[in-house]
Amino acid sequence: MHAIHISEYGGPEVMTWAEFPDPAPNDGEVAVRLGVAGVNFMDTGARKMPLPTWSVPTVLGVEGMGIVTALGPGVEDFAVGDRVAWRYHKGSYAERLAIPARSLVRVPGDIDDETAAAILMQGLTANHFTTETYAIQPGDTAVVHSAAGGVGVILTQLIKARGGTVIGLVSREEKTPVAKKAGADHVLVSAGSGFERKVRELTGGEGAHVVYDGGGTATFHSSQLALRRHGVHAYYGVVNGNPPFRPADLPNSILLSYPSVVDHVPTREALVRRANELFEFVRKGQVTPYIGGRYALADAAQAHRDIESRRTSGKLLLMP
């Protein structure tokens, strides 16, 4: 089988299409033939620099869906031929994988392959943001950074499904229609700071209840200034920088959170339950991932170039 491998950190040019033996499942693992892999911005970080739990050499990628081809000893929850999806398994840019069964969910028959690959990681992230990070209530106003991106589209849809108002931020004017189609009530073009004044205008001077900020150091301070008293700054832009701050610098008694989806699905039971919540939103037509690009798995380097250009919208997918 083939996979996208790196032996050093760097730009997309370090990504190679390499051949490996087919993996055999060990105890508690399931062998899977890849159907569709998802591209995440964090994948570019793992390519460029050491990250916690990541080092080189490695195969990139963390999410996807596929077909079960063999079961390791002790696996009872799955059968050969099952369609499965996963939200985090290092090395997912590969034609074949051996994945712990506890990391997998069964894909219902009415959920297509591309949706299954596109929904799980970013959908669970968005579900975490709108429930346990800040439980969106009808009438709440949320600011969504990168509202035309993979997380942003699903996050906007979930906020709207829960009765909230969305102020979406996009980096380019041409991304505005994607954010609006996802349900954003207002869309602002902003590639960095300075959007807080307009957010306050749109909220009658009060500020937003919550800002979901993946923008990094460039947006950190403005996100906080866009919040009302006791608002929540959900900062998940660590790949783009960890800005220094003092607790006394936080305005309006706001709450600062670094939401990690691991805390949303700490057990297999939680993973299955939350995944089924997402699938139900899909069935109701309230969540529909926007597929912004499809690439051959061997062309993953081009997907990285495109996502880093900030010109892409929605979810990028890789096909073996």
pLDDT band at residue 225 using 50, 70 and 90 as cut-offs: very high
Classify 267 as helix, strand or coil. Answer: coil
Distance between CA atoms of residues 129 and 135, nearest Å: 8
Res 242: pLDDT: 77
- The hierarchical CATH code for the domain 2-107+290-319 is 3.90.180.10
DSSP assignment, residue 131? I
pLDDT band at residue 108 using 50, 70 and 90 as cut-offs: very high
Query: Which residues have a Cβ under 8 Å from the Cβ of 178 and sit 6 or more positions away?
Result: 147, 148, 153, 170, 290, 292, 313, 314
Res 240: pLDDT: 64
Res 172: pLDDT: 92
All structural domains of the chain with their residue ranges: 2-107+290-319, 122-262
pLDDT band at residue 178 using 50, 70 and 90 as cut-offs: very high
pLDDT band at residue 237 using 50, 70 and 90 as cut-offs: confident
Q: What is the mean pLDDT of residues 120-149?
A: 97
241, pLDDT greater than 70? no
Res 155: pLDDT: 98
Q: What is the mean pLDDT of residues 218-226?
A: 94
Structure tokens at 193: 């700071």
pLDDT band at residue 310 using 50, 70 and 90 as cut-offs: confident
Q: What proportion of the chain, given as a percentage, has pLDDT over 70? A: 99
Distance between CA atoms of residues 278 and 266, nearest Å: 17
Res 239: pLDDT: 66
CATH topology of domain 122-262: Rossmann fold (3.40.50)
pLDDT band at residue 226 using 50, 70 and 90 as cut-offs: very high
pLDDT band at residue 26 using 50, 70 and 90 as cut-offs: very high
Res 267: pLDDT: 96
What mean pLDDT is reported for the chain?
A: 95
